[in-house]
Chain A
Amino acid sequence: MSTLDDRPASSAVGEAQSANPGGVAALMQSPVAIRLGAILLLTVGLTLLQLSGRAFWQGFVINLGIFMILVLSLNLASGFTGVFSLGHIGFMALGAYGSAILTLPLAKKADYLPNLPAWLAAVHFDFYLGPFPLGFLLATLLAAGLVAGVALLVGLVLMRLSGHFVAVATLGFLVIVRVILFNADNFTRGSRTFSNVTPYTGLWWVWCWAILTLYVVWRLKYSAYGRAMFAQREDSLAAQAIGLAILPPRLLAFVVSAFFTAVAGSLYAHFITSFSPTVFYFDLTFRVITMLIVGGLGSVSGSVLGTVAIMALAEALRRLEDVTLLYGMSQITLAVILIVIIIYRPNGLLGRREIVLARLFRKGGEPSP
């Protein structure tokens, strides 16, 4: 499950080590080997899950992957730059609706959305390349690309604000998206449920995108762009004084994060197959923010940990609820646990630190050089 990487900065050291002959011990310290090992482990786990045919757990793991993408990208936008966005679920909604409209087969589209403009009614991304649903991939990329464009325009305005103001303004963006989705009947069926979406999303789709998101966010964190994001978050005056512009790193984080949020929206749409604008609102917003804050703002592995912790806890409590018949207790307990975490670990479980797989192994083995 855990797919945490070594930081790219130290990979040169790691590769030098792995070049030394030394068998398993040396291999255990090579970040590349550990990365491949983690991906292999995940692949084996997913294959087993796929073969087991347990629909419930498959659904749970798909949801886990989707939330991981959401939390990681929100971390990029909010944790790295300190610009707190409450509007990301709006990007998710746009991604979900955009890709769902694109993948709808022609016959269904004519039936279901009769008032679409001609150019949109004629496109259908439901083609396959052999067994591979290429149309779904293209529709996701197209929708996410469009959303990234929207994010660029919105970001050019909103990323100039900071503090509480940007939170309120992004919240405004969420409300505006919702109002538009409700009123653009011709495209979204308004407040009626949008169903008939082909269920493309499976374990592999979600986890390939999740790994890609993890990789991109991780690389960004230790790139020059990422350091600029953290610098202007720590002290905007000092960052400006050494010649860092405030807007470009914020905008980059916002746009990349909107792209992946839209991807998560597309995956979600093709997973639950029917939804309405009410799905993408405060409830989802606060769930993602909870996972982010529990994990730690600015920590990539914290996002992974926070998502897994909250999802597992919520599921365990829900089961307990079914046994004890105390309905509603799970939400209360979850809220109390959150309050306790915030009081005792105000920076989340990990704060800004990272769990580094290679270091975990090193502790068990010989001391690091």
Chain B
Amino acid sequence: MRAAAEDLTAAQLMGININRIIALAFAIGSGLAAIAGLLFAVQAGQINPYMGFTPVLKAFIAAVIGGFGSIAGAVVGGFVLGALEVLLTALPGIGDILPPGMVSPGAQALIQQWLPSSLTGYRDAFVFVALILMLLFRPNGILGRPDREEMR
């Protein structure tokens, strides 16, 4: 499977049936996703046909953050993403945590008006900003190893 991920053509030349490998990986992955779906449904207590969309998106982001193709990376990415989301929901807004007297009352009012008092509503936006920064500065994720530039 790892050989096929590395280089499809080379794996095929080595006598690996890549179609079977890909199908197998797809089947195992789908099965694991179904287990996650079961756990998710039990925890949420309700189901609907579109419930899978957001988790898949988040799984994808977590995989990018952690590093594609790395098992430990997937775990780390999942934890980082989960912690980020909870922190963004739980932390108060900037206007509320500024100590009184640090800025003038006028500025304080301006901050409270223009910066949201809680970041909850903007949670997804921050998650994706983090993702874009990640892609720019460490495109292979926290644990992924850097790719060689391929010359053809």
Contacts and interface: CB of A to CB of B under 8 A. Distances in A.
Interface of A: 157-158, 160-161, 165, 168-169, 171-173, 175-176, 178-180, 182-183, 235, 237, 282
Contacts of B129: 172, 176
A237 B151 contact: yes
B131 interface: yes
Contacts of A161: 135-136, 139
The 10 closest A-B pairs by CB, nearest first: A172-B128, A179-B125, A183-B121, A176-B125, A165-B135, A169-B132, A175-B128, A179-B124, A169-B135, A172-B131
Contacts of B135: 161, 165, 168-169
B125 A168 contact: no
Given A175-B125, A176-B129, A183-B116, A168 B136 contact: no
22 contacts: A158-B132, A161-B135, A161-B136, A161-B139, A165-B135, A169-B132, A171-B57, A171-B128, A172-B129, A173-B128, A175-B128, A179-B122, A179-B123, A179-B124, A179-B125, A180-B122, A182-B121, A183-B116, A235-B152, A237-B151, A237-B152, A282-B53
Interface bin, chain B:
20 to 34
A179 B124 CA distance: 7
A179 B136 contact: no
Contacts of B60: 168
Nearest to A154: B132
Interface string B41-71: 0000000000001000100110010000000
Nearest to A177: B125
Interface string B64-97: 1000000000000000000000000000000000
B128 A176 contact: yes
A116 to B, nearest CB: 14
Nearest to A166: B135
A4 to B, nearest CB: 35
